Amino acid sequence: MNIMVRIFPLFMLILFFGCKESSQKEAVDPEALFAHEVKPIFESKCIGCHGGDPKKIEGGLDLNNYENLLAGGNSGKPAIVPGKSNESLLYHSILRVDDDLAMPPKDGDKLSEIDLQIIRDWIDGGAPWPSAERIAEIKLDTAWEYGNRIRVKTSGGLSDTWDNRPYEKENLWAYYPVEKPEIPWGELDPQNDHPIDAFLADKRESEGLSQAPLASDLVLIRRATIDLIGLPPTIEEIETFLQDKDPKAYQNLIERLLASPHYGEQWARHWLDVARYADSGGFSNDYVRPNAWRYRDYVIRTFNDDKPYDQFVMEQLAGDELDPEDPEMLIATGFLRMGPWEHTAMSVAAETRQFYLDDVTNIVGEAFLSTPLNCAKCHDHKYDPIPARDYYSIQAVFATTQFAERPAPFLPEENTEVTEFEKQRIVDWLNKTAEEQELLSKKEEAAAKQWYKERGLTYLPKRERRKLPEDQQPPRYLGLTYEDLGYRKVLSKRKQLLRRQEERFEPLAYSVYNGPVNVKNSQNRMTIPEKLNGELPQSNILAGGSVYAPIEPVEAGVMSIIENLAPEKKQINIDISNSMENRRLGFAKWLTHPDNPIMARSMVNRIWQYHFGKGICETPNNFGNTGGKPSHPELLDWLTAYFIEHDYSVKEMHRLIMTSEAYQLSSTHPEWSRVNELDPNNELLSYFNPRRMDAEELKDAMLYISGELNPEMGGFPVRPEINIEAALQPRHIMGSIAPAYQPSRTPGERNRRAIYAERYRTLADPSLEVFNQPGTDMSCEARSESTVTPQVFTMFNGQNVRTRSLVYADRLMKDLESHEARVREAIYAIYNREANADEVSEGLNYMEKMTKYHSDNKPPKTEYPTEVEREMFEEMTGEPFTYKEELDIYQDYVPDLQPWQVDASTRALADLIAVYFNSNEFVYVY
Amino acid sequence: MSTDHSNWNRRDFLYGLGLSIGAVALSSLLACDTKTGQLVSRGPLSPASPMMRAKAKYCIFLTMEGGPSHIDTFDPKPALDKYHLTRFQRQGEKFSAMSSGDRYFVRSPFSSRKVGKSGVDMSAPFVHLADVADEICFYRGCQAESVNHPTAMYHINTGNQFGGEPALGSWISYGLGTMNENLPAFVVLPEVAYPQGGPGNWSNGFLPSHYQGTPLRPEGSPILNINPPPGVSRYHQEESLELLQKLNREHQQMHPNHDELSARIENYELAYRMQMEVPDVIDIEGEDEKTKELYGVGQAETDAFGRKCLLARKLVEQGVRFVQVYSGGWDSHDFLERAHGNLITSIDKPIAGLIKDLKRRGMLDETLIVWSGEFGRTADNGVRENGVAYGRDHNPDAMGMWFAGGGVKAGHIIGATDELGQEAIDVVHPLRDLHVTLLHLFGLDDNKLTYFHGGRHKQLSQFGGQVIKEVIA
C-alpha cells in the first residue's frame, strides 16, 4: 500500500466543479433546453393524459397549449409562472411533495432528478415556448448535449419520441465495451499487493475509512469451506489447517476446496437459482419432467470441470446446434425449458406457445444479459434503450425452438444408479392401476351388455357403439356409480403421471430441436416429429404483448444498443440465421464474443456476489437503468477483463477473489460506529459481511455433521423426508389429487445433498422454503435472508433437526467415553472451534436435567401411515367422494434412528445438540 | 428514506429492502434488514394508514374454485329455455378442446326469483342468502381472460395469469400491515386439497415473504411444526430455550455489531408465545351454539364451509387483514343440477350466517366480503362421452361476483351480461379493474401501491386500471 497514489483531492475538485457547472443556469439557452429536453419529457411522461387526445384532457390541463399552461387547468392556478419554478404548479406536481398532486400519478413513472432540474431551469429561464419551426431549427444542432445526457441509436423504437429520448450516460454503464482500467496502485508488489485490494482501498480511503483486521484462521477456514463447497469443515480439516506452517497454507486450502467434487454441487446450486431448476412443470398438474435432472448434473459437472463460462453459455443456448450427436450438448439445452410451462386440453395453443417465447426471452435476458427483457414486451422499454423490436428480434431467435425429450445415451460420468425397488414400484403401480381400470370397464360393459340384452339387440363394444347416435346406445356411464366415475378419472390421471415417471430411467435428454411450431399436451413425452412439416414461424412485434395483435414482422436479432455503443473495431457483426436452423447458435456466438461486454460482466458480478453477499452491482439480473449502479465500476471492468483473459475460468476468479485481503477480513470492525455512519451498507467492504447459511447449506451441514450425509454425486432425483403433513397434504390436479409425496425408502437413498432432492413446483420442502429457498417461477438473482417466526417452528420443533441431532448423539455415545468429551466434540464440530469450560459445564448440566426428564418420559414409537384416504369433490355430483391411496414406500420403510430406540442420556445429548443447531453461532457464517 | 414511519413513505424503506430481503414473518417485531444489519424501528407488518379515506379494513374473500355458473346463481337467463339443446358450432381464435365440435345450449336447472327489498336475482337453491340480499352488491360486468383453471386462478388471485406474483391479500397486507402482529396478516382457509396451481395462489411473489398467505389447514396442525414433537413437554422446551438464549447472548457479545443476532433471539421468544396462543385463537369450539348454528356448523351439508366462515370472522375480529376462504368443486361440465345444487347448499347458510354475524357485531361496514370464482360459465356445452351433458364450460367473457360490506353499494345489481349470459355487455371491466377497485375500497391506489422488481415498478393490476365506480357506495 506504500505506493498508493492519493488522487482524492483532485477527484473531489472535479466533482465540485462538475456540479457547479451544470447548475449554472445562464450557461444554458432555455429555448434550446425546451426543444431538446423539456418537450421530449412532456411527450414521454405527460402528453398521454394532458394533450394527447383532445377529447380526454385530464384536469383541463393541456401541455400542447401554452396559454392553457399559463392560465392553469381546472384548479385555476397557473401551471407555469415563467421565471418562478417555485410558484409553478407543474413543477410542484412533478416534485411529488403533495401526494394528491403528484405527477405522473404512478410512482414508478416519476421524473428523474435530472428531468426535474431541466424543467426547473427552463421555467426559471423564463419558460420560453418556441414555435414548431423554431424547434425544428434548433434541433438541427445535433451536437447538443446536456450534462451527462446522451442520445443513442438502437434498432428503432415504435415512436420518434422514444428514439430521441436522452439517457444518462452512467445508466448505460453495462452496455459499453469493457475497458481494462489501470490498477490504482500502479505496479503491484506480487508478494503483498492484490489488485482487488488496490481498487477497494482506493475508494475506501478516499472516504476516510480503514479496513477491518484480518479474520482468524478458524473463521477463515469455516468461511472459505462453506463458501466453496457448501459444507462446514471437519474437525480434522480444521486441525490440519491450523497446524499448517506453509506460507501458502491458505492458498492450498482454496485449491483443496476447488478440487473437491462438492464444489460443483455448491456453485451449481447458485446457477440453478438463476435458471429456475425444477423437476416438474407447475400449473394444473405439475407434471414431472423426468429427465430434467441430467441438466442439474450437467451444471454440476460444468463447475467441477471449470468449463469456460462462454462455452457453458453457448451450450445451454445452442448445444443441439453445436453437436446433436453429443448427449451432453442436448442435455445442456434443458436450460431453455426450465421455466414453468403447461399445455392441457383446456389451454389455447397460441397462448401457451407465446407464454413460452416470452419466458425464454426474458430468462435469456436476465441470466446472460443481466437485463430483464420483458420490460420491452408490451412497448419500448420505459427506461433502457431496448425497443420492443429488440425484444421480438431476440424472441425470434427461439421461434423455431421446439420441445423434445431426445434420445441421448447416458454418459460414463452420469450416475444412473437406481434401486430395483424404485423402478419396480412404478411398474407395480401401473399394473395395479391397469387392473383397477379393467375392473371398472368390465362393470360398465356388463351393464351395457345387459342393456342390449333387455332390448334384444346385439352387443357392440364401446368403440363401435360410440359412433352411433345417442339414442341407439346405452346411456352414458350406465352401470357406474358416481364414486366409480370419480375414481376412474383418478386412475387415468395416475396412469398419465406414472408413465412419465417411467421415462425417468430412459436415456432421454430434456431438450429442444428446431422446427415448425409444435405444441403438445404436457402429459405426453415430447418427441421430434418424423417429418418436420409446417411453415417457418414468422415473428412479429406484438402490440401490448398480445399474441393476437401482431403489428410488424421482425427477424432474429440481438440487443442493438450493444452494437451501437461499441466503437467500430469492437463491433461484433454476426449474422443470425433466419432459417429453421442455427438461429440460437448465431445468437450465442454474438453473446459469447469477447467483445460483447455484458456476458462476462454479468458472470463476474454473480461470482463476486456469492463470495461477498452482494454484487458490485447489487442486482445481478438487472444492469439496466432501474438496477443498481456498480459500487466499484472500475474494479468490475478490471475483473471482467481478467475473466476474459483467463479463458472465462470461474475457478480462476475464485482464486483471485479469495486471495484478496477483502475476502479475508474480519466481520468486526474496530471503528464500528464510524464505519456504520459513513457506510452503513458496507459498500466499501471495510469488513466482511457475515451471512446466514442458505437453506440447503443448513440442511446439508446437519446431515454432514451427524454423519448421515451420503456423499454420492448426481443421479435421479431423491426424495428426502419432508414434514409429513406437508408431504401428505392433498394437492388438487385436473380431475384428481396428486400422488402423495413419499420419501425414498432407505436413509442412504434419501440423505443426500439438498441439490439432489426432487423439486416439485407446487410442493416446496417447507424446511427449505422457510429459510428462503426461492420459488421456481422467477429467476432468483440473490437469496433473501430473513428472520421470521416459522423458522423457529422448523428448527425447534421440526423433525429434521431432531433426527440429525439424535443420530449424531448416538454416534458420539458410541465413539467417545465421557459426556464431557461428547459435549466438546459436538461444539467443535458444530461451531468449528474448541469449547470453553463454561459451555461444557452448562452443557453437562443441561444434559443431566434432560436425562432425568427422559428417564421419566418414554417417547412414543413412530408409526408411518401405509395408506391415505383422499377426499375429492366429484364435479358431477358436487358431493365429496373418497378413495384410498396406498403408500407403498411406507409399507417397507427404513426410518432414520428414532428416539424410542435409544436411552435417556442419548436423547438428552440429542437435545443439547439440537440447541447447538438452533443457535446463532451455527447458523451464521462470519 | 423517510423517518416518519407513520405515513405511506415506508414504501421507500421496503423498496431498498425488497431488492434482497424477504421473509415469512408472522410478526413485524423482527423486520431486520440482514444485509445491512439494521433493525428497523417499525416492521413491514405494522399497521399503516391507507392512502385515502376508506371504509374497508378487512377482507374476507370467498373463492369458489372451479368457476361457478353466473347463469345458475345470480344472473338468470330465461331466454335459454327457448334455445335449450339447440345445436351449433363455435368459431373463434381462442381455439381449445372446449370450443371445438358440436355445441348445444343448456337452460338452467334452477328457477330464479327476486329477493330482498332491492329485488335482486337468486336461484332457488339459495335460501338463507336471500335474508341478506339487501347487503349485497352484485356485479355482472367483469371479464377474465384465461379459459384454463390454474391460469385463471392465478389471474384473479395475483393479477398475473402465469403465477409467481403477489396475491391480492399480499398486496393489501403490504399496503396496510396487520392489526395483530402475532398472527399472519394474510390467512388462507383452503379446502382439504389445495387448489390447482397450489400455494402460488397465495404467494407473496416478489414482495418480502412477510406478506405470504399462511394456510391454516383444516386438518392436522394448522401451521406446520407449531406443536412440539411427541415426547417434548413445556418444561423440556423451556429448559432448551433457556440454554439456547444463553448461548445466543454470549455469542452476541462476540459480535456486537451484528444486529440480526438479536432479531433471531427475539424470534424464539415470540415463537414460543405463539405456540401457546395460536391454538386458542383458531379454535371455534368456544363460540356459543347459536352462533355455530347460524353458520350451519354441525349440519352435515354446511359444516365444513360453515367452520371456515366462522373462523374467518374470528380471524378478522383478531385483526387479521385478509382471509381467503376456499370452496372447491364448482367446475360443473356435467350434472349441473346436482353439483351446483349441492355446492350452493353447502355455502348458502354459512355465507348468510357470516354476513348476519358481522352485521350484528358492527363489523360489516369495515369488512369487505367478496364472492367470486376464477371465471364464469358458458350458456352452452360440448358433447361428453358421446352424450348430452347438462353442464357448462369455462367462460372468461362473462362471470358473476358480488361484494358485501366495506363500502360497496348494497342491494344493487351492477352491469349486465347478454341475453344468454355469454358475454358481459354493460359496465364491462377486465379483472385488473376489479383489482384496482378492491384496493380502492381499502384506500389504496393501485398506481401507488407498487414494488420494484425485475426492472419494473410492479403493481397488482400489472399496468394500471380503472376503479369500477358503480359498485362503490
Q: How confident is the model at residue B92 (pLDDT cuts 50, 70, 90)?
A: low
Whole-number Å distance between alpha carbons of A95 and A521: 52
What's the pLDDT tens digit per position in A346-360? 889 999 999 999 999
B162-to-A269, A522, A735, B145, B432 alpha-carbon distances in Å: 24, 16, 21, 12, 15
Q: How confident is the model at residue A191 (pLDDT cuts 50, 70, 90)?
A: confident
Pick the more confident residue, B282 or A215. A215
Cell numbers representing residue A54 in the block: 383532445
Tens-digit pLDDT profile for residues A724-770:
999 999 999 988 999 999 999 999 999 999 999 999 999 999 999 99
CB pair distance less than 8 Å for B98 and A345: yes
pTM for the predicted model, two decimal places:
0.90
CA–CA separation, A770 and A726 (whole Å): 13
Binned at pLDDT 50, 70 and 90, residue A798 comes out as very high
Which of the two residues, A463 and A7, has the higher pLDDT score? A463
Q: What is the pLDDT of residue B1?
A: 26
ipTM of the complex: 0.89
Q: Is A882 on the interface with B (CB under 8 A)?
A: no
Q: Please state the φ and ψ torsions of residue B168, each to the nearest 5 degrees.
A: -50, -45
State how far the Cα of B333 lies from the Cα of B393, in Å rounded to an integer.
6
d(CA A382, nearest CA chain B) in Å: 9
- CB pair distance less than 8 Å for A877 and B335: yes
Residues of B within 8 A of A879 (CB-CB) are 338, 342
A23 pLDDT higher than 60: no
Share of chain A above pLDDT 70, in %: 97
Q: What is the CATH number of the domain that holds B341?
A: 3.40.720
Q: If pLDDT is split at 50, 70 and 90, which confidence band does A10 have?
A: very low
Q: Does B4 touch chain A (CB under 8 A)?
A: no
Q: Report whether pLDDT(A6) > 50.
A: no
Cβ pair B230:A622 closer than 8 A: no
Q: Which amino acid is at A700?
A: D
What is the tens place of the pLDDT at every residue in B376-410? 999 999 887 778 889 999 999 999 999 999 999 99
Number of domains in chain B: 1
DSSP three-state, residue B273: helix
Task: Kindly tell me if the per-residue pLDDT of A21 is higher than 90.
Answer: no
Kindly report the number of other CB atoms within 10 A of residue A463's CB atom.
Answer: 7
Residue B89 is classified by DSSP as: E
B383-395 in b/e burial notation, b at 16+ Cβ within 10 A?
eeeebbbbbbbbb
Q: Which of residues 17-36 of B touch A (CB under 8 A)?
A: 19-27, 30, 32, 34-36
Task: Using CA coordinates, name the residue in chain A closest to B327.
Answer: A873
Would the CB atoms of B228 and A797 count as touching at under 8 Å? yes
Whether B116 is covered by a domain: the verdict is yes
Q: Give the closest residue to A204 by CA, choosing from A690, A691, A692, A671.
A: A671
A789 at the B interface (CB within 8 A)? yes
A779 class by beta-carbon count within 10 Å (0-12 exposed, 13-18 middle, 19+ buried): buried
List all residues of chain A from 546 to 585 with a beta carbon under 8 Å from chain B: 548
**Whole-number mean pLDDT of chain A?**
92
In this complex, the residue of B23, B224, B346 whose CB is nearest that of residue A766 is B224
Parallel, antiparallel, or unpaired: how do β-strands B142-143 and B429-430 relate?
parallel
- Cβ-based neighbours of A112, under 8 Å, separated by 6 or more: A168
Write down the residue that cell numbers 378487512 correspond to: B58
Angle of helix A695-706 relative to helix A799-815, nearest 10 degrees, comes to 30
Interface of B with A in 128-157 (CB under 8 A): 146-151
pLDDT of residue A290: 97
Q: Is any Cβ of chain B less than 8 angstroms from the Cβ of A475?
A: yes
Q: What is the pLDDT confidence band of residue A190, given thresholds at 50, 70 and 90?
A: confident
Does the pLDDT value for residue B425 go beyond 60? yes
Which residue from A350, A477, A788 is facing B209, i.e. has the nearest CB?
A788
Does the structure show a pLDDT above 80 at A370? yes
- The pLDDT of residue B217: 83
Neighbours of B290 (CB within 10 A): 7
Number of neighbouring beta carbons within 10 Å of residue B88: 11
Q: B337 to chain A: which residues are within 8 Å by CB?
A: none
Q: Would residue B126 count as lying in a domain?
A: yes
Model pLDDT for residues A224-266, shown as the tens digit of each residue: 999 999 999 999 999 999 999 999 999 999 999 999 999 999 9
CA pair distance B27, B11, nearest whole angstrom:
18
pLDDT at A147: 81
From chain B, the residues in CB contact with A876 under 8 A are 334-335, 338-339
Nearest to A555 by CA among A541, A545, A534, A535: A541
Q: Has residue B63 been placed in a domain?
A: yes
Q: Is A777 on the interface with B (CB under 8 A)?
A: yes
Helices and strands: H and E segment counts in chain A? 39, 12
C-alpha of A372 from chain center: 12
Q: What is the pLDDT of residues A552-579, one digit of tens each?
A: 999 999 999 999 999 988 899 899 999 9
Q: Identify the bridge partners of residue A731 per DSSP, sorted by sequence position.
A: B194
B84–chain A Cβ distance below 8 A for any pair: no
Which among B13, B148, B466 is the top mutation candidate for probing chain A, defined by the most A β-carbons within 10 Å of its own β-carbon?
B148
Check if B279 contacts A (Cβ < 8 Å): no
* A672 in reach of chain B (CB within 8 A): yes
* Residue B203 Cα, gap to closest chain A Cα (Å): 10
Residue A712 pLDDT greater than 50, yes or no: yes
* Confidence (pLDDT) at B13: 26
Q: Write down the pLDDT at residue B15.
A: 22
* B128 falls within a domain: yes
- Residue of chain B whose alpha carbon sits nearest to that of A345: B97
In angstroms, the CA A464 to CA A157 distance is 59
The parent domain of residue B389 ranges over 58-222+282-471
Check whether the bond before A104 is cis (ω within 30° of 0). yes
- Average pLDDT of every residue of chain B: 87
Cross-strand partners of B138: B402, B413
**Angle of helix A309-322 relative to helix A583-592, nearest 10 degrees?**
170
Which cell numbers in the block locate residue A326?
A: 453429443
pLDDT tens per residue across span A261-316: 999 999 999 999 999 999 999 999 999 999 999 999 999 999 999 999 999 999 99
- B3 pLDDT above the threshold of 60: no
